[in-house]
Amino acid sequence: MIYRLIRPLLFRLDPERAHDLATALLSTSAHIPGCMALLGSLLAFRHPLLATTCLNQQFMNPLGVAAGFDKRAVLIEGLAALGFGHVEVGTITPRPQPGNPRPRMFRLPEDAALINRLGFNSPGMVVVEQALQKAHSRNPHVAIGVNIGKNRDTPLERASEDYVAAFNLLAPYADYVAINISSPNTPGLRQLHERSALEELLQALSLSNRNLAQPRPLLLKISPDESNSQIEMVVAVGIAAGFAGIIATNTTTERIALRSSAAHEIGGLSGRPLAVRSKAIVQQIRTLAQGQIAIIAVGGITTGNDAYARIRAGANLVQLYTALIYRGPGVAGRIARELVECILRDGFRTLADVIGVDCI
């Protein structure tokens, strides 16, 4: 109710400016004694039915924050207090880079969507490592994913060097590492979906992972704009390289039946318009992989019914970003409550029983 009152004020601001203000408030609140506990009691919803095992670890629930919301790894404690079971930070590049010129984020309220062309704005891996050192020791109950990418000025033929550098530094603080080859805002990045480039990259990362004292689950974040045959190839290459999962999907460059005035803006579209395609890809991956890899669904998840549909389609975990903008800080609690209602309504005894039932 409070967010519905203040949202019109926030929406008068440039979207990135509003995001910076809101996240600064959440970050500051984490340092006020008792504030996180109060937030959790007011907004979060916890239920034993939502506990799940994925990537060889326990998650208190399947709900996560997608990469892009917390690029500096400074919001993990606050987002955990809001009721999220995991937070994926990044995308993080080896060297600092400012990203694309502003304005570079646009609201599409009539479509419950966003368009961004941020372009991997990142403080760089060294700054994020320092933040992760602190976050990892303070947040034992929330899983931390680290999403990595290449610098804009790194040639594609040397992309593996960037990914390996970021992986080697940041993986020790991650519960899983996501490899972002699918942002539409870094020129040429999506060419890494092509087989030879993809095999080289995944093999280099798998080798680095095996050299760790404690290897981390590796996940590949893919584009929704690839053909079904291309997705089939990506899944096969990922499994062959020993990757633990796929994140489906990143933002789309497609513009279908949008009503908002900002629909013409260049960048990646997220939110409700992505829901149908993202769910279809989740189901395709589940059918192809037959449970060999985990699937994290992201794209247009706004309600408990949305999350439930993705889990039935084969997702082990789900993530959101745009819904935080439109529904506010209580969205995780509301989705969690609605998700429990869906599970109980259909007579399932555990969350694991729901995963992939629509693919059987």
Quote the radius of gyration of the chain (alpha carbons, Å).
Answer: 19
Structural contact between residues 52 and 101, judged by C-beta atoms closer than 8 angstroms:
no
Told to judge if 183 belongs to the known catalytic residues of this protein, a careful annotator would answer yes
Helix residue spans in the chain (DSSP H):
2-10, 15-29, 35-43, 76-81, 125-138, 159-170, 195-210, 228-240, 275-289, 304-313, 322-327, 331-345
Q: Tell me, what amino acid is at 178? A: A
Coil, strand, or helix at residue 355? coil
Round to whole Å and give the CA distance between 85 and 90: 17
Pick from 160, 167, 157, 277: nearest CA to 224: 277
Q: In sequence order, which residues have a C-beta less than 8 Å from that of residue 77 and are 6 or more positions away?
A: 30, 36, 135, 138, 139
Q: Check 122, 160, 183, 270 and give the catalytic one.
A: 183
Is the alpha carbon torsion for 1, 274, 307, 329 positive or negative?
negative
Round to whole Å and give the CA distance between 136 and 156: 32
Catalytic residues, by residue number, are 183
